[in-house]
């Protein structure tokens, strides 16, 4: 007796909450999407859908496209590619270079990227920025910024990012800032014209997630996608 044909697809997401993802999947299930399952780890989410029957492949492919549209730029992969590799691929494709503005940020990113082939073609690993014997001393926020916004932690971080861009000639600079008093932790990405800031809750600010938030900001910037909420 012939076994029924089965097929499955998986979408990998970052930058969307579990609550939001669950709501999208509940609506899809109500519309007839088969075999939905949501999994998560360190802020990454995976949506698996499965179907059986002679048209299982076309059903899965159709729903995969619909879910990609609904999740938008939160989808970073439809295969086994993880977020660090997806971010690196985006930068290599566009021939962008990104750097960290300080050693603490570099310490979050290095373990995520150091073992990936060609990573040094997109990330400077501090060699032209905070770890450079001469350039490192020039990565300081402008004094005028500090005088104008003495209590705001965003301005020093943005200033360091701007300085890192200048000394490294990178296209983007990344900063992680731990929580300070009443100010939450945040990640920051800057290019020569703009900066984007993502406030992080306590869980998101843990090292296992903070580096991924930095890379997701980088991935979206390289792809010309809007940043996460």
Q: What is the pLDDT of residue 151?
A: 83
Helix and strand totals (H; E) in the chain: 7, 8
pLDDT, tens only, 140-196: 988 888 888 888 899 999 999 999 999 999 999 999 999 988 999 999 999 999 999
What stretches of 72-186 show up as alpha helix (H) in DSSP?
83-94, 103-113, 143-148, 154-168
- Decide if pLDDT at 3 tops 60: no
Position 199 confidence tier, pLDDT thresholds 50, 70, 90: very high
The residues facing 74 across adjacent strands are none
pLDDT, tens only, 18-42: 999 999 999 999 999 999 999 998 8
- Decide if pLDDT at 2 tops 50: no
Cα maximum dimension of the chain:
79
């Amino acid at each position: 007796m012939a076994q029924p044909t089965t097929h499955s697809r998986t979408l990998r997401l970052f930058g969307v909450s579990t609550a939001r993802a669950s709501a999208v999947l509940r609506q899809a299930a109500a519309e007839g999407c088969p075999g939905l399952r949501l999994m998560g780890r360190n802020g990454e989410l995976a949506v698996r859908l499965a179907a059986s029957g002679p048209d299982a492949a076309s059903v899965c492919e159709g729903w995969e496209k619909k879910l990609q549209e609904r999740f938008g730029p939160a989808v970073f992969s439809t295969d086994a590619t993880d977020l660090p590799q997806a971010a690196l691929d985006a930068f290599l494709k566009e021939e962008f270079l990104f750097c960290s503005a300080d050693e603490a940020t570099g310490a979050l990113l290095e373990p995520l990227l150091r073992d990936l082939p060609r990573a040094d073609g997109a990330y400077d690993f501090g060699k032209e920025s905070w770890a450079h014997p001469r350039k490192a001393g020039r990565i300081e926020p402008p004094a005028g910024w500090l005088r104008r916004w003495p209590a705001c932690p965003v301005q020093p971080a943005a200033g360091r990012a701007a300085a890192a861009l200048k000394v490294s000639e990178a296209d983007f600079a990344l900063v992680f800032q731990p929580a300070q008093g009443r100010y939450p932790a945040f990640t920051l990405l800057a290019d020569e014209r703009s900066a984007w800031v993502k406030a992080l809750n306590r869980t998101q600010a843990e090292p296992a997630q903070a580096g991924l938030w930095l890379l997701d900001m980088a991935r979206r910037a390289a792809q010309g996608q809007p940043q996460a909420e």
